[in-house]
Amino acid sequence: MAIRHGSAAHQLTRRRLLSGILASTGTLALLSACGGTAIATATTVAGTASQSVGSPTITASSGTAAAASAATQSSVATPASSAVPQPAPAAPTRAANAVVFWSNAGYPYKGQIGAQLVSEFEQQGGPTVQYQDTIYKDLMTKLVTTVAAGTPPDLSYVDAYITHSYACSTAVISMSDMIARSKVIKPDMFWPAMMDYGLYKGKVYGIPSGPDVGLLYYNQDAFKSAGLDPEKPPVTWDEALAAVQRLTRTQGSTLQQAGWYPLTWNGPHVWEVPYWQLGGSMFTPDQTAPAFDNANALQALDWLKKLCDAQGGYAALQKFVSAAKGAEAAFVGGQTAMLFDPHATSALSLNGKAHFSWATSYWPVAPGGKQASMIDGWALVIPKGAKQAEGAFRYLEFLNETDPQTRWANAWNNIPAVMAAARLPAFLKANPLNPLTVDLAAVSKTWISALGADDLDKIEQTMVVDVLTGKQTPHDAVSSASASMQATLTEAQKSCAL
């Protein structure tokens, strides 16, 4: 699948390689990596933050000396443990009665907000938390190995989308009984789409952590040069199509500037956003059958093809963006005028790097459709065989109080997983982009998390690319992909232990 490239500290996008639950051992193949970068100071940008999805534009100037004096940009510190991640041991060495926690090397605890939170939890009478900043492949491979060996950590990060597969293989335990007794954690306190990642067959196996939400970034200078109002981004499909036609520049048959390469933040899978706007779902509620072989899917794919064709076609557009070293780099370099990317992109890639005025909005809305965006992140799980499961859950309760939630999100430029925390002034006022991001989180959905997700992703990617390149009609591509996904789902169910 198409992925976003960058340093380890900047790889926020979920990255998937072929993986699955093997019936004999339950072992997972290597999956994707994501991480973050700590924000050393609060981000301040020029302009007024929108408080509602209906009024989307947030202006931010960056790059030039004049802009730098008008707007204080964030200072981004790359954690040393992100640059040189430390592998997790196969069998954690634990202090007596300590909660062994495989924290995420992409958002390291050592020397960061996580270490502060652990200290506060212990000072309040909680058990000792022995955190180990753990690289992604160990979270996704060694975790299962230690479960099989009877030596797992007590708490661990995992990529949220894989939680169903871990639950299916019994590598992680249900927390539903502990949640029923808890005065802090309730499933309905989290963003619904993120909680869906943690729910499997009606029970909670994963607690959401560190989500991010997709925003539409646009180059206001490019808009002005094209005769477009820099304060009015496109908010409908028709407006977006008209805008990219104005923004695209060619020399002969060669692209000089593209209006919008839409397949960013996990590549072709982003087609789901316009499909969701029309009310579509990828699967049935129980995630055992595809549900996208319908007119809404055909309409979304047809519009995306028109969008790409207006800029010289998907192949030319992809080649142009690849030559710029990715969609994010192309946008920062002024080679594309719009970018759909996570909320964190503002601090990671734009502030101090983009030498133009930029602003944020939402994905343009389909005719008769509703707002939709993407949300993605992590899950915290308690592995099967954990020696200190109750202590691990106590730490989860602490982490999901509003103060730790807002402080963690502000430090790592995520949004709080707990909805009430995200709506507090401590978060909303920390960054002018936060109000729009929170509004969009409420109407966001997630990528595929059904059993066999990685194989399903490959099928989906092929479907989208075949349509955009003209290899198949939307009808034929959707019909073929739906049949292939049904076969994959049926096969994945056979190896499920639950």
Give the tens place of pLDDT for each residue, 22-51.
Answer: 222 333 332 333 334 333 322 323 333 333
Domain enclosing residue 303, as ranges: 58-76+213-374+450-493
Q: What are phi and psi of 341, to 5 degrees?
A: -155, 170
**What is the tally of structural domains in the chain?**
2
158 found inside a domain = yes
d(CA 161, CA 81): 24
Q: Are residues 146 and 280 in the same domain?
A: no
Q: Are residues 359 and 489 in the same domain?
A: yes
Find out whether 350 and 62 touch, Cβ atoms under 8 Å: yes
Q: Are residues 231 and 314 in the same domain?
A: yes
pLDDT class of 498 with cuts at 50, 70, 90: confident
pLDDT of residue 97: 86
pLDDT of residue 13: 37
498 found inside a domain = no
Q: What are phi and psi of 466, to 5 degrees?
A: -60, -35
48 found inside a domain = no
pLDDT of residue 6: 29
86 found inside a domain = yes
d(CA 307, CA 401): 43
Cβ atoms within 10 Å of 395's Cβ, excluding its own: 23
Q: Are residues 92 and 148 in the same domain?
A: yes
3 found inside a domain = no
Q: Are residues 310 and 425 in the same domain?
A: no
Q: Are residues 14 and 156 in the same domain?
A: yes
Q: Are residues 392 and 370 in the same domain?
A: no
44 found inside a domain = no
d(CA 186, CA 66): 48
CATH classification of the domain holding 345: 3.40.190.10
Q: Are residues 165 and 119 in the same domain?
A: yes
Interacting residues of 340 by C-beta distance below 8 A, sequence separation 6+ = 214, 215, 216, 217, 260, 262, 264, 265, 270, 273, 363
d(CA 343, CA 340): 9
Q: Are residues 324 and 365 in the same domain?
A: yes
pLDDT class of 189 with cuts at 50, 70, 90: very high
**Helix boundaries (H) for 199-251:** 220-225, 237-247
d(CA 367, CA 365): 7
What dihedral do alpha carbons 101, 164, 482, 375 form, nearest 10°?
-50
Q: Are residues 362 and 479 in the same domain?
A: yes
Could you give the 3-state DSSP secondary structure of residue 208?
strand
| pLDDT digit string, tens, across residues 280-317 | 999 999 999 999 999 999 999 999 999 999 999 999 99
427 found inside a domain = yes
Position with higher pLDDT, 496 vs 372: 372
Q: Are residues 467 and 343 in the same domain?
A: yes
Q: Which of 221, 433, 267, 218 is nearest to 347 (CA)?
A: 433
pLDDT class of 266 with cuts at 50, 70, 90: confident
Q: Are residues 222 and 206 in the same domain?
A: no
Q: What angle do CA 414, 317, 466 make, to 5 degrees?
A: 90
pLDDT of residue 99: 98
49 found inside a domain = no
Cβ atoms within 10 Å of 267's Cβ, excluding its own: 20
